[in-house]
Every structure is written in C-alpha cells, then in structure tokens.
Amino acid sequence: MENNFTKTQIVFKETKKIFLEKLDIYSPEEINNIIYWGMESIFQVTKVQILSDVSIKTTKKWKMFIEKMLNYYPIQYFLQESYFYKHIFFVNENVLIPRPETEIIIEKIIAKYPLKDQKLTILDLGTGSGCLAISLALLYPNADVFAIDISEKALDVAKKNAQIHQTKNIHFECLDMQKIKDFQKKFDIIVSNPPYICEKEKTEMSKNVLDYEPHLALFVPDNNALVFYEAIANWGNLYLAEKGNILIEINQNLPQETINVFQKQSFSNIILHKDYFDNHRIIEIQK
C-alpha cells in the first residue's frame, strides 16, 4: 500500500492485526494507543479524522514505523516526542522516556507551593530530558532552576527542550551528582529521578526498555543500589534551604531502605507516596 491513497480505518485495522499477532508485551488498548499516536504524527491527522475514515497517503515512514514497532522500538524514540505533565518533550535514545508516575513529583510541589509567582530556587539532579526542570520552570516563571546531568548528550536534549518551551530561567551543567559542587545558594526544592533499578531486576524488564533506553539512567549495582540517594542526601544536607523540600522517585522494592538513607543523614520529616499503580514511588522530605 506504499505511496497509495487509502482509508485510515483500513490502515488502522491492518496494523492492529499485525501488532496483536507479534507484540506480546502490549495490551490491546496499548496497541490501539500506539497506532493512533503513530498515525496522528506521521499522517498529520487527528483521532477524530481516523475514526471518520478519511483518506491518507501511505508513506515509507509508515512502513518503517511498523518495522520498528515490531522490534519493540519505543514509539517515543521513533516519533522523537513524549508527553509529560501537559507538555510534549523531544526525546531520543540518550535520555530516559518520561513516565506518568514521575509527574507525581510535580503534583506534590504544586500542593506545597501553590503561588506560581514565587521566587523559588530549584535543583534537578540527573535531569535527563529536562522534563522535571522545564515543567517546574514553566509553572514557576520567577524561579531560578539548576539542572545537572553526567551525560553531555542528555544535556543536549534537555537544552533543546528548554528552547522548544522557551524557558530562560534554567541553568544546565554537566556534573556527576555524586560529586558535590560548591554552590553559593540554598535551594527551596531539590528533585531527582535517579538510576535505581538493580542489575538483578533486568530479567523482569520489557524488551522496549531494556534494549533501547540508556542503561546509565536506569541501573545501579546490586551491591550499591542506593548510591544516588546517598548523594542526594548529601546535596540536601549542604544546600537545602530551611523548610525546603526534596522530592525523589524511588525503587518500589526499596522504600524503607531509601528512607533509612535520609534518616541517617538527620532528615526526619519523610513521607512515602504511592503511584497510580499502588506501588511505593515517591519520597517527600522536608528539612
């Protein structure tokens, strides 16, 4: 059907049949969403138009899309876009794909800081695509936001997203979060979604994550699983302002162990939050 006009419903049904037969890690609903998202982006049609069965001209890119999806390639990387907290972010294989559960960090911050004109200082440790830092910069335009990452390639993605969203109040820096920098200021908010998946957990992961997303942003050694939380606690001890807050994403299998890291560093006001799937996911710490 390459380079010929056809109806959207024919394309949708043919593609769905192939995906249902070949892609065993996705539910039928997830497959529907993948196809809709791909069609909307590649053919520049809306979901309403797809359901209305309008005519489209199939392209080589659509054939490539099907081939990539059958190899479990993440649709976000193929389309180079991912949704996070009401915005679209540019992504590629140099950064982790933003997850909905990470949005809980934003929601908790809004609950604590409802006034959007506040002059906050914010630090994002391991910024990746920049989704947390940029979302916060958009929410708090008077904030002073600092975002660090060990990967120059990840920072290139974050800087591109900052340009796309026209956020000028973010300072990016290539830095290993395990190495504390000498800052001349305190931070009201520290956020982080650090690597936290143990190497032994690889066997439980889907091919679309394990084969394509950056391992640097995912995995930690089995014998040192909390290394980045120890670093975050050190940052908090040095640079968290009085009554400031740390909000971090955690490994659902290590909630108490992660809390213990901060308790050992004299943090006592710690709240554990669950995600949308009832897994322990976010820790909120107040100084």
Helix count and strand count (H, E) for the chain: 11, 13
pLDDT at 1: 42
Could you tell me the pLDDT band of residue 3, with boundaries at 50, 70 and 90? low
Model confidence at 179: pLDDT above 80? yes
The residues, any chain, with a CB within 8 Å of residue 98's CB and separated by 6 or more, are 82, 83, 84, 89, 91, 129, 131
Percent of the chain with pLDDT over 90: 94
Q: How many CA atoms lie within 13 A of 169 on its CB side?
A: 18
Give domain limits for the chain. 5-71, 96-286
- Residue among 283, 264, 265 at smallest CA distance from 275: 283
Q: How far apart are CA 70 and CA 67, in angstroms?
A: 5
Going by C-alpha positions, the residue among 133, 126, 86 that lies closest to residue 109 is 133
Cβ atoms of 280 and 255 closer than 8 Å: yes
Q: What is this structure's pTM?
A: 0.94
Asked whether the beta carbons of 128 and 96 are under 8 A apart, the reply is: yes
In the predicted model, what is the mean pLDDT of residues 46-57?
96
pLDDT on residue 5 = 79
Give the chain's mean pLDDT: 95
Give dist(CA 86, CA 77) in Å, integer.
19
Query: How far apart are the C-alpha atoms of 154 and 236, rounded to whole Å?
Result: 23
Q: Please give the CATH topology (third level) of the domain spanning 96-286.
A: Rossmann fold (3.40.50)
% of the chain at pLDDT higher than 70: 99
- The whole-number pLDDT of residue 268 equals 87
pLDDT tens by residue, 79-89:
999 999 999 99
Per-residue pLDDT tens digits for 191-240: 999 999 999 999 999 999 999 999 999 999 999 999 999 999 999 999 99
Higher pLDDT, 167 or 183: 167
Instruction: Give the CA-trace dihedral at 285, 253, 96, 267, to 10 degrees.
Output: 20
- What is d(CA 90, CA 95) in angstroms, rounded to the nearest whole number? 10
Q: Helix 60-70 vs helix 28-43: angle between axes, to the nearest 10 degrees? A: 150
Q: What is the pLDDT of residues 95-153, one digit of tens each?
A: 999 999 999 999 999 999 999 999 999 999 999 999 999 999 999 999 999 999 999 99
